[in-house]
């Protein structure tokens, strides 16, 4: 590396220069964007190494179980820096999402020590934690001899950090003082509105700001545009149908999945408020949803929007992010808006999905594995991923405050930053943490399918659902 | 070394070999048996437990409670019903189609041989891939089958997405994949039938339809039973086509045994219920295969003139 370039980057690392100025001046020196990025990472690595013995586990290896995802791609793109920083080796297996969690369950339930750490969602830790397959990461986070001083755990977004912590008591509040940190947030998704601005304009409708407006807008935009449907939401027979837009809107009306009476849980989705909400949601899908809604996973929801087959989605914001790029037909034509379903609500309350990292209890060397964990979830990698790869949404406040990141988003993703800023304070997991999560939520999705198919009226369906859930909770000793 | 010195060295080895030979020969079978029995017995053990991996503190023997719970569980009876309907419907349709195609291709000719090879293509497709292929073809936006239904005047035909058409859709995929299997078995059977009875019937002027009912079908029955047995055992354990297309939905419309057991294990981590479901499926499979094998043996005996 030339001395002048090194000096420039050092000045940047000391905060004496903005990232934009750095890249501009490097450019003047003839450095390409890619080489500038590499130089920046090298200097970041050096800066990291200054205050902590990163070489403590040099020569050791860590094996990861990963889902095929842009977060994984971002990590792999930056992995050489970790290897250089620590002298450790990292190997990994990457599986597509269809089979990923089966692989995780199989590996953990068999007590296999093959993988030291793996990607997970917070919901999954409600199974893995009580089963004794993962560790409480607080033990490492709070140990200064094991965690580098620049890790800055409090830099994590509060709602996200707390959503990954649970005390293991069914119904226990997430992020409580006695909660165990079952996983470390890596990247996350809020559920908001992504829309095709041209289609809305053609129909002469504004951006809907609550559920009633959304239902009306979806119907109008569908009528005004040939061969499309108004609103994309998930519908497959899976828990994943409930957690995105559906639960975000449901929670915004103050409705709950379960009620908690002194540690005894009961189904709470057959209240009058819940029934009214379900009736509207079902009607929205019947009137303006995809014809084959009941088979739609996140993939169909996203690709239909990207292909111009739907006008709006109420789903993960990053799905809208990815559909606005690449070779999607609608790339560059999508926009974003925060969405509070309840007209009386002060702000959106998106339920969130958090791709996280967790250490397997069966790892042969947890301390060494934690070195990888703190690097991968640290502020430096977060900033690298967010500004140079597609590591969105970042889970760290410092990354969201980065002007480089915000400028990048504002340039190509209109409304995305504002959407995030408005929604982030209310963003957290809205489900009740309990070990029957997947059973009950999948059954909820199956009942929703029956309601949309007009197999059962909403009121009757929700009463049946609540009875069934109560029976399962009783059987499991939770009620 | 001399030849004389070799003789005593060979004899004991031969004696040892002959004594242990039966055991050595049966060792692979024994190992296979152990490989089958260990997981089977483990499954029985788990099925008698309250065993949910997310609640390890609750684990304990409940001695058949999982099975007793099924009696009062409407979803279990629904699963049983859907599994049986799916199995008999697919096998019935595949037998009819397979037999029809086999009869059309019975005469040996270059064209028939070529067509029979081409018809085997779907059988070479993995069922899960076939399901995904049909999922694309039935997509309401761009699927060619959806387009045809629109042309035929059914614009709202929703294939796997509607409870009223989901069963039809997955049966269609199953029939597409497995009819060639039945066809090739029955074609082999038809071509191996003796020609004399047919020549005699033709000389007597027996109509073709009568020949089929009186001669072809009775002689072909062992082949039909064999094909039906194989397909029925496979079909009642259906997983990939249904899971890939609808995950058992919409609602619980297609919640067959394997899908239910899979979801119970991998999603709910309810090992006790999942293994109990699979053991009931095993029992049904065992009973059905016994019935079929008994019929097949009776037919064979009749054919040999022993009955």
Residues of A in contact with B246 (CB under 8 A): 237, 294-295
Who's near B58: CB < 8 A, 6+ residues apart?
A476, A477, B50, B52
Residues A196 and A177 in one domain: no
**Taking a C-beta distance cutoff of 8 angstroms, is the pair A387, A405 a contact?**
yes
Query: Do A176 and A63 belong to one domain?
Result: yes
Residues of B with Cβ-Cβ distance to A457 under 8 angstroms:
none
Q: Which domain holds residue A164?
A: 53-188+354-401
Predicted pLDDT of residue A457: 98
As given in the structure block, the two tokens for residue A126 are: 């409600």
Which of A431, A463, A447, A458 shows the shortest CA–CA distance to A265?
A431
Mean pLDDT lowest for which of A16-25, A92-101, A137-146? A16-25
Look at residue A1 and tell me whether its pLDDT is greater than 60.
Answer: no
What number is the average pLDDT over the span A443-464? 97
Assigned domain for A452 exists: yes
- Whether the predicted pLDDT of A384 surpasses 50: yes
Does residue B78 sit at the A interface (CB-CB below 8 Å)? no
Higher pLDDT, A29 or A83: A83
Q: In chain B, what residues touch A435 (CB-CB under 8 Å)?
A: 52, 54-55
A248 plus A289 within the same structural domain: yes
Chain B interface includes A169 (CB < 8 A): no
List, for residues A403-417, the tens digit of each pLDDT value.
999 999 999 898 999
Query: A382 with A341, same domain?
Result: no
Whether residues B58 and A476 touch (CB distance < 8 A) is answered with yes
Which of these, A166, A162, A354, A341, lies nearest to A254 by C-alpha position?
A341
- Tokens found for residue A310: 């739907």
- Closest-CA distance of chain B to residue A446, Å: 4
pLDDT digits (tens, 9 = 90+) for A254-275: 999 999 999 899 999 999 999 9
Same domain for A69 and A105, yes or no, is: yes
Instruction: Supply the DSSP string of A411-470, one letter for each residue.
Output: HHSTTHHHHHHHHGGG-S--SPP-TTHHHHHHHHHHHHHHHHTTSS-HHHHHHHHHHHHH
Same domain, A200 and A252: yes
Whether B141 and chain A come into contact, CB under 8 Å, resolves to yes
Is A220 within the bounds of a domain?
Answer: yes
Residues B235, B217: Cα–Cα separation, whole Å: 24
**In this model, does residue A79 exceed pLDDT 50?**
yes
Residue of A75, A83, A41 whose CA lies nearest to A58: A83
Average pLDDT over residues B68-81: 94
User: Are A452 and A235 in contact, with CB atoms under 8 Å apart?
Assistant: yes
| The model's pTM | 0.87
Residues A157 and A178 reside in one and the same domain: yes
Q: Which helix (H) or strand (E) holds B150?
A: helix B144-151
Is residue A420 assigned to a domain? no
Same structural domain, A184 and A251: no
Non-local CB neighbours of A386 within 8 Å, separated by 6+ positions: A392, A394, A399, A402, A405
Position B142 scores a pLDDT of 87
ipTM of the complex: 0.83
C-beta separation of B256 from B83 below 8 A:
yes
The pLDDT score that the predictor gives to residue A37 is 56
* DSSP secondary structure, A219-248, as one string: HHHHHHSTT-EEEE---SSSGGGTTTHHHH
Q: Rounded to an integer, what distance in angstroms lies between the CA atom of residue A84 and that of residue A58?
A: 10
Joined tokens for residue B255? 């919640």
- Return the pLDDT at A13: 53
User: The domain B73-304 belongs to what CATH superfamily?
Assistant: MetI-like (1.10.3720.10)
Q: Of A454, A457, A428, which is closest to residue A123 (Cα–Cα)?
A: A428
- The reply to whether A16 and A152 lie within a common domain is no
CATH of residue A299: 3.40.190.10
Write down the mean pLDDT value for chain A: 92
pLDDT for res A9: 59
Nearest CB neighbour to A131, from listed B56, B252, B266: B56
My answer on whether A397 and A433 are in the same domain is no
pLDDT at position B23: 87
Total domains, chain A: 3
Q: What is the H or E stretch that residue B28 is in? A: helix B3-47
Q: What is the mean pLDDT of chain B?
A: 91
**What pLDDT digit, counting tens, does each position of A294-326 carry?**
999 999 999 999 999 999 999 999 999 999 999
The reply to whether residue B158 touches residue A292, judged by beta carbons under 8 angstroms, is: yes
Q: Which chain B residue lies closest to A290 (C-alpha atoms)?
A: B140
Residue A295 in contact with partner chain B when CB distance is under 8 A: yes
Place of tokens 């070779």: A327
Are residues A454 and A396 part of one domain?
no
User: What residues of B are in contact with residue A237 (Cβ under 8 Å)?
Assistant: 246-251
The DSSP code for A172 is P
Q: Which of A4-13, B30-39, B130-139, B141-150 has the lowest average pLDDT?
A: A4-13
**How many angstroms away from the CA of B82 is the closest CA of chain A?**
16
Which has more confidence, B257 or B4?
B257
Distance from the Cα of residue A295 to its chain's centroid: 22
pLDDT score of B54: 87
- Is there a domain that residue A407 lies in? no
Asked if A177 is an interface residue toward chain B (Cβ–Cβ < 8 A), one would say no
Instruction: Give the SS3 label for residue A325.
Output: coil
- In the predicted structure, residue A277 carries a pLDDT above the cut 50: yes
Q: Based on the domain organization, do A317 and A434 belong to the same domain?
A: yes
Residue B1 has a pLDDT of: 41
Of A131, A132, A295, the CB nearest to B246: A295
Euclidean distance between CA atoms B285 and B126, whole angstroms: 23
Is A149 part of a structural domain of the chain? yes
Query: Is the predicted pLDDT of residue B3 greater than 50, yes or no?
Result: no
**Best residue of B39, B53, B274 to probe chain A, by most A CBs closer than 10 Å:** B53
Q: What percent of chain A has pLDDT over 90?
A: 87
The residue from A362, A383, A401 where one domain ends is: A401
Q: What angle do CA A238, A243, A246 make, to 5 degrees?
A: 105
């Amino acid at each position: 590396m030339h001395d002048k370039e090194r000096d420039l980057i050092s000045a940047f690392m000391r905060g004496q220069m903005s990232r934009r100025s750095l890249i501009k001046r490097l450019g003047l020196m003839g450095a390409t964007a890619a080489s500038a990025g590499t130089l920046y990472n090298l200097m970041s690595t050096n800066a990291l190494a200054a205050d902590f013995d990163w070489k403590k586990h040099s020569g050791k290896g860590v094996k990861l179980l990963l889902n095929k995802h842009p977060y994984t791609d971002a990590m792999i793109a930056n992995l050489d820096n970790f290897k250089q920083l620590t002298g450790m080796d990292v190997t990994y297996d990457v599986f597509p999402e269809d089979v990923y969690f089966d692989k995780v369950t199989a590996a953990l339930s068999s007590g296999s020590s093959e993988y030291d750490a793996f990607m997970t969602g917070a919901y999954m830790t409600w199974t893995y934690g009580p089963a004794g397959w993962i560790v409480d990461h607080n033990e490492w986070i709070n140990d200064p001899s094991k965690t580098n001083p620049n890790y800055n755990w409090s830099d994590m977004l509060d709602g996200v950090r707390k959503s990954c912590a649970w005390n293991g008591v069914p119904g226990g509040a997430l992020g409580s003082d006695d909660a165990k940190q079952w996983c470390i947030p890596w990247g996350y998704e809020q559920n908001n509105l992504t829309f095709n601005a041209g289609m809305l304009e053609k129909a002469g409708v504004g951006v809907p700001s609550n559920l009633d407006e959304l239902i009306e807008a979806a119907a109008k935009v569908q009528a005004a545009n040939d061969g499309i449907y108004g609103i994309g939401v998930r519908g497959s027979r899976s828990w994943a149908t409930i957690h995105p837009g559906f639960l975000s809107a449901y929670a915004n009306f103050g409705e709950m999945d379960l009620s908690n009476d002194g540690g005894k849980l009961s189904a709470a989705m057959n209240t009058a408020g819940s029934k009214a909400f379900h009736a509207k949601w079902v009607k929205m899908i019947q009137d303006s949803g995809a014809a084959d809604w009941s088979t739609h996973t996140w993939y169909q929801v996203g690709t239909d929007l990207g292909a111009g087959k739907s006008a709006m989605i109420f789903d993960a914001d990053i799905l809208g992010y990815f559909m606005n790029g690449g070779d999607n037909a609608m790339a560059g034509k999508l926009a974003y808006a925060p969405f509070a379903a309840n007209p009386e609500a002060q702000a959106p309350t998106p339920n969130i999905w958090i791709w996280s990292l967790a250490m397997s209890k069966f790892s042969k060397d947890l301390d060494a594995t934690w070195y990888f964990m703190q690097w991968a979830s640290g502020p430096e990698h977060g900033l690298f991923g967010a500004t140079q790869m597609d590591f969105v949404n970042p889970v760290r406040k410092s990354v969201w405050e980065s002007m480089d990141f915000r400028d990048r988003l504002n340039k190509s993703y209109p409304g995305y930053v504002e959407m995030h800023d408005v929604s982030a304070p209310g963003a957290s997991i809205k489900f009740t943490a309990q070990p029957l999560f997947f059973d009950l939520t999948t059954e909820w999705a199956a009942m929703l399918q029956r309601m949309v198919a007009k197999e059962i009226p909403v009121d009757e369906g929700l009463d049946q659902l609540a009875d069934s859930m109560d029976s399962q909770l009783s059987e499991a000793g939770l009620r | 070394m001399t030849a004389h010195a070799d003789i005593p060295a060979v004899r004991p080895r031969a004696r040892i070999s002959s004594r242990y030979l039966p055991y050595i020969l049966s060792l692979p079978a024994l190992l296979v048996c152990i490989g089958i029995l260990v997981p089977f017995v483990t499954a029985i053990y788990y099925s008698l437990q309250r065993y949910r991996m997310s609640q390890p503190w609750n684990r304990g023997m409940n001695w058949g409670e999982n099975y007793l719970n099924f009696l009062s569980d409407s979803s279990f009876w629904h699963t049983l019903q859907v599994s049986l309907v799916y199995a008999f419907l697919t096998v019935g349709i595949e037998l009819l189609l397979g037999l029809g195609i086999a009869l059309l291709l019975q005469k040996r000719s270059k064209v028939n041989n070529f067509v029979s090879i081409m018809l085997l293509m779907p059988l070479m497709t993995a069922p899960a891939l076939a399901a995904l292929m049909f999922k694309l073809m039935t997509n309401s936006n761009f699927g060619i089958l959806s387009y045809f239904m629109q042309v035929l005047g059914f614009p709202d035909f929703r294939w796997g997405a509607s409870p009223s058409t989901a069963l039809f859709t997955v049966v269609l995929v199953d029939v597409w994949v497995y009819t060639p299997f039945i066809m090739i078995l029955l074609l082999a059977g038809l071509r191996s039938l003796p020609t004399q009875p047919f020549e005699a019937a033709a000389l007597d002027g027996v109509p073709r339809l009568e020949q089929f009912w009186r001669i072809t079908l009775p002689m072909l029955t062992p082949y039909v039973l064999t094909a039906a047995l194989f397909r029925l055992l496979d079909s009642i354990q259906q997983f990939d086509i249904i899971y890939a297309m609808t995950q058992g939905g919409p609602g619980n419309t297609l919640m067959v045994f394997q899908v239910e057991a899979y979801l119970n294990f991998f999603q709910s981590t309810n090992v006790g219920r999942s293994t109990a479901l699979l053991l009931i499926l095993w029992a049904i499979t065992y009973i059905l295969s016994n019935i079929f094998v008994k019929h097949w043996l009776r037919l064979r005996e009749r054919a040999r003139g022993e009955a």
